[in-house]
Amino acid sequence: MMRPGRRISVVGCSGAGKTTLSRRLARRLGYRHVELDALYHQPDWQILPTEQFQAQVADATRGDGWVMEGNYSSARPLVLERTDMVIWLDLPRPTVMRQVLWRTLRRLFGRQVLWNGNRERWTNLFSFKPEQSILAWAWTRHASYRQRYGEEMRNAPADRHYLRLDSRQAVETFLASLPDDSPAR
């Protein structure tokens, strides 16, 4: 297995496990964990204007020793410019849907605070509109994320390493393969 980079981007469909992997990876390597959702979603689910969002992403990607997770198109060129490793979670749609449904239910019934005081909305269970439901978003975007990151990986420069993980077992194998002497900064 390849040695992890110093600036890692974790991408994949909503519900694929980006946050869980990113947190575990950052903790294991001693890196900062940056969640793009936390930068983008302001209190009361207000979205940060694009220029401000990009400025926050630019600030978060300064230096080495970070794991950033998220798919935001408006920030992707900046993240790619600064990352040296991309980990693509390309799990099958049934696995993603099971995970995102369980996560949504856990957040709803546990009244879990997400970013900036926000909580999961009940419309996530009952709306068929992707803009209003993370379940609908994950279902409708799964194929487009697969195409997007497949193309990104095929067209990547030689100095940017890609790791495509296509199962939960592949994720666990990757984490178990990390050297115990990984630098912590």
At 85-141, the pLDDT tens digits run: 999 999 999 999 999 999 999 999 999 999 999 999 888 788 899 888 999 999 999
pLDDT of residue 185: 43
Is the Cα dihedral 136, 140, 145, 150 positive or negative? Answer: positive
Average pLDDT (72-89) is 96
pLDDT of residue 173: 96
pLDDT of residue 2: 58
Quick check: pTM over 0.75? Answer: yes
Running DSSP on this structure, what letter comes out for residue 151?
Answer: H
Q: Over the stretch 140-182, which tens digit does the pLDDT of each residue have?
A: 999 999 999 999 999 999 999 999 999 999 999 999 998 765 4
E-state strands within the chain:
7-12, 32-35, 66-69, 85-89, 161-165
Give 40's contacts (C-beta < 8 A, 6+ positions apart).
47, 48, 53, 70, 72
The full set of domains in the chain, from first to last, is 7-91+142-177 (3.40.50.300)
pLDDT of residue 4: 74
Give 55's contacts (C-beta < 8 A, 6+ positions apart).
none
pLDDT of residue 140: 95
Residue 97 contacts residue 105 (beta carbons within 8 Å): no
Residue 1 has pLDDT above 90, yes or no: no
